[in-house]
Amino acid sequence: MFPISLTSSRFFVRRAGAFAFAGALLIAPVTMRAQFAPPPTTQVHEPAALKPPAGARVAIIEFEDMQCPDCARANPVLKDAADKYKIPWVRHDFPLPMHQWSFQAAVNARWFDDKGGKKVGDAYRDAIFANQPSFGEDPARMTAFTQQFAKDHGLAYPFAVDPMGKLAAAVKEDYALGQRIGIEHTPTIWVVTSHSKGAPFVEVVDRSKLYQLIDQALEDTKGVK
């Protein structure tokens, strides 16, 4: 189905017709190929989507797959940067169809957002990335971890997490947004600005330069209200 080495940490995505995502709504399919060198800069087709939340000068925007090894490596780097600079970190779901449990994990994260608040939802995302290797490709291991995470946070994880499909629909909306923008790999990360004197958004291809890019974005938006 998908010609991919599952040991690869970065995946390219190309559109190719239609596929059923998590047994529900059809979304455009993607095929993947392994990529070991840094990817080229994404060709952005919907630049209006890459801007900070209202009231923020600078933000980090990420499209992530919770089963992607390179997303797991990026996660603490982005978390540390957002904490250091006190800037928003906007996390979008882009679960790749070849991954066995990433879509359900994204749905679970939104359940925690709803039941425990955004801090709990983000803590769940961070915990999934930190423990990702222990799950392998087994959805049952991820689910058992999720049940324990809910218990540890005083929440009862239900048998039917999303009976009306609203959370799944929200994940699919993020995925569709990523397709419209032109996402071709996970993670895809930008530093975005509001009313900047410089570039309105810059893709973070080399994460060792993330702080440098944020510093430049803050400099370029000095005086912006």
How much of the chain, in percent, has pLDDT values that exceed 90? Answer: 78
Radius of gyration of the CA atoms of the chain, in A: 17
What pLDDT does residue 39 have? Answer: 59
Q: Which of 67-71, 211-215, 218-222 has the lowest mean pLDDT?
A: 218-222
15, pLDDT greater than 80: no
Highest mean pLDDT among 1-10, 11-20, 173-182: 173-182
> Rounded to whole angstroms, what are the CA distances from 213 to 81, 157, 165, 208?
11, 40, 38, 10
What pLDDT does residue 225 have? Answer: 65
What pLDDT does residue 25 have? Answer: 39
Highest mean pLDDT among 16-20, 22-26, 120-124: 120-124
Query: Mean pLDDT throughout 208-214?
Result: 98
Mean of pLDDT over the chain? 86
Give the 3-state DSSP-derived string for 17-63, with helices as H, strands as E and coil as C: CCEECCCCCEECCEEEEECCCCCCCCCCCCHHHCCCCCCCCEEEEEE
What pLDDT does residue 31 have? Answer: 38
Measured CA to CA, the distance from residue 92 to residue 79 in angstroms comes to 14
How much of the chain, in percent, has pLDDT values that exceed 70? Answer: 82
In this prediction, residue 24 has a pLDDT band, given cuts at 50, 70 and 90, of very low
What pLDDT does residue 38 have? Answer: 54
- How many C-beta atoms lie closer than 10 Å to residue 116's C-beta? 17
Which CATH fold topology does 42-220 show? Glutaredoxin (3.40.30)
In this prediction, residue 97 has a pLDDT band, given cuts at 50, 70 and 90, of very high
Helix axes 139-152, 118-135, angle to 10 degrees: 140
Helix axes 102-116, 139-152, angle to 10 degrees: 10
